[in-house]
């Protein structure tokens, strides 16, 4: 490919993908050698009465089985966009300050998850609430399989708690919407003509709507064919905000095409594709009892604070396994036992 480096961004993406594939091939070759060695050890153990040899065989077999489980799970992350960076957009639902505070709690949850798992996270755009929380925020999470891990987070998240913003301290239910988009790679994957967009510039604003900059650096891009609107005001220059807005727009166009394909496939299969603002995908209950329940997989945790602090591994894994009918020896319901508090 003599023209590979004509597009450095695309070339870099291809080289990263090549490196990932080389690592995967090497991993499976190493596993093949380990299996061959284990077979030889089993043959020796069958002909010997050495107890230490049998113990080595049992230990190595268990380690190999665990490694195989991990590799099998990695095969789940093999969708067309799974290896890419993820763009996560959060939107507060109806409910005023409580929902805006809930959206900010989700923002913190995903940022903490990224930090704990070695991913790089950056806030691309954020709109603060008047009293507390956020109206919306968009973050980029960069690293191997970021989109593959997070793609199941899209949908409505529901919080039940005693409201810290209610003078009567009454119980409130709040909603927030999460969108998860795969980041576009290269300049040719999504073609956007100059006539396809309209760009407006304005001064960035803070909480309460007051202007926080004297110059018009904030950018609003309207994609005319699709009607998608993207706003970005976090960066200091108009050029940076435009680049960030275009990155988000390209991700939204990829997601729109994926949704179109899913709807076409659903029509063929006769399956139902629910709307984004339909039934919630997960409930987080902090009062009158403590429970996180994923309504798609049945996964439950009685430690919502751990989940809200970024401990999403089990709930994310349960969703991914549910898409392929479960995994070997995996219990998607965790250690939960029914206790009469499960009706959400």
Structural domain includes residue 344:
no
Q: Residues 166, 307: one domain?
A: yes
Q: Residues 299, 160: one domain?
A: yes
Q: Residues 180, 305: one domain?
A: yes
Number of neighbours of residue 66 by Cβ within 10 angstroms? 10
pLDDT value of residue 215: 62
Structural domain includes residue 209:
yes
Q: Residues 111, 252: one domain?
A: no
Map tokens 């960066």 to a residue. 235
Q: Residues 63, 172: one domain?
A: no
How far apart are alpha carbons 56 and 64 in whole angstroms?
Answer: 12
- Digit-coded pLDDT (tens) for 19-72: 878 887 888 888 888 888 888 878 877 777 667 777 878 888 888 888 887 777
Structural domain includes residue 334:
no
Q: Which of 183, 102, 176 has its CA nearest to residue 140?
A: 183
Structural domain includes residue 307:
yes
Is residue 130 within 8 Å of residue 151, measured between CB atoms? Answer: no
Q: Residues 202, 230: one domain?
A: yes
Domain boundary among the residues 76, 94, 114 is at 76
Structural domain includes residue 297:
yes
How far apart are alpha carbons 308 and 93 in whole angstroms?
Answer: 18
Q: Residues 165, 250: one domain?
A: no
pTM: 0.75
Q: Residues 155, 214: one domain?
A: no
pLDDT value of residue 290: 97
Assigned token pair, 118:
């070695």
Q: Report the range out of 69-73, 154-158, 168-172 with the highest average pLDDT.
A: 154-158
Structural domain includes residue 331:
no
Q: Residues 235, 91: one domain?
A: no
Is residue 196 within 8 Å of residue 224, measured between CB atoms? Answer: yes
Could you give the dihedral angle defined by the CA atoms of residues 330, 334, 336 and 338, in that order, rounded to the nearest 10 degrees? -50
Range of the domain at 114: 86-186+275-322
pLDDT confidence bin for 2, thresholds 50/70/90: low
Is it the case that residue 277 has pLDDT exceeding 70?
no
Assigned token pair, 20:
């990932």
- Digit-coded pLDDT (tens) for 103-128: 999 999 999 999 999 999 999 999 99
- For residues 78 and 299, the model is more confident at 299
- The domain tally of the chain equals 3
Sign, Cα dihedral of 153, 159, 164, 167: positive
pLDDT value of residue 44: 77
Is residue 87 within 8 Å of residue 139, measured between CB atoms? Answer: yes
How far apart are alpha carbons 172 and 161 in whole angstroms?
Answer: 6
Q: Strand pairing of 228-232 and 282-285?
A: unpaired
Q: Residues 98, 121: one domain?
A: yes
Domain boundary among the residues 228, 246, 269 is at 269
325-333: Cβ within 8 A, 24+ apart? 327/69, 327/72, 327/73, 328/69, 328/72, 329/69, 332/297, 332/298, 332/299, 333/298, 333/299, 333/300
Structural domain includes residue 103:
yes
pLDDT confidence bin for 335, thresholds 50/70/90: very low
Q: Residues 241, 201: one domain?
A: yes
Q: Residues 168, 299: one domain?
A: yes
How big is the chain, counted in residues? 344
HEC letters along 102-136: HHHHHHHHHHHHHHHCCCEEEEEEEEECCCCCEEE
């Amino acid at each position: 490919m003599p023209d590979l480096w004509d597009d450095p961004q695309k070339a870099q993406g291809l080289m990263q993908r090549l490196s990932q594939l080389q690592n995967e091939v090497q991993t499976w070759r190493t596993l093949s050698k380990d299996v061959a060695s284990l077979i030889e050890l089993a043959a020796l153990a069958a002909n010997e009465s050495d107890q230490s040899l049998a113990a080595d065989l049992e230990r190595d077999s268990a380690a190999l089985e665990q490694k195989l489980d991990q590799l099998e799970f990695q095969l789940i992350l093999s969708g067309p966009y799974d290896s890419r960076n993820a763009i996560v957009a959060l939107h507060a639902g109806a409910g005023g300050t409580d929902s805006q505070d809930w959206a900010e709690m989700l923002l913190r949850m995903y940022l903490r998850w990224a930090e704990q798992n070695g991913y790089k996270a950056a806030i691309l755009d954020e709109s603060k609430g008047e009293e507390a929380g956020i109206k919306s925020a968009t973050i980029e999470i960069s690293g191997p399989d970021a989109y593959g891990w997070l793609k199941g987070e899209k949908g409505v998240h529901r919080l039940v708690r005693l409201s810290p913003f209610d003078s009567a301290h009454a119980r409130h239910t709040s909603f927030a919407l999460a969108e998860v988009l795969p980041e576009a790679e290269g300049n040719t994957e999504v073609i956007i003509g100059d006539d396809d967009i309209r760009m407006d510039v304005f001064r960035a604003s803070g909480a309460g709507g007051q202007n926080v900059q004297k110059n018009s650096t904030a950018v609003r891009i309207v994609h005319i064919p699709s009607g998608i609107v993207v706003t970005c005001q976090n960066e200091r220059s108009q050029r940076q905000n435009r680049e960030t807005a275009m990155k988000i727009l390209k991700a939204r166009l990829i997601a729109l095409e994926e949704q179109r394909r899913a709807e076409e496939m659903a029509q063929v299969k006769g399956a139902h594709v629910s709307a984004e603002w339909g039934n919630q995908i997960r409930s987080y209950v902090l009062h009158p009892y403590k429970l996180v329940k994923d309504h798609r997989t049945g996964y439950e945790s009685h430690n919502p604070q751990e989940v809200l602090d970024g401990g999403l591994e089990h709930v994310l894994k349960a969703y991914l396994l549910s898409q392929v009918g479960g995994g070997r020896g995996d219990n998607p319901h965790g250690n939960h036992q029914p206790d009469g508090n499960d009706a959400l």
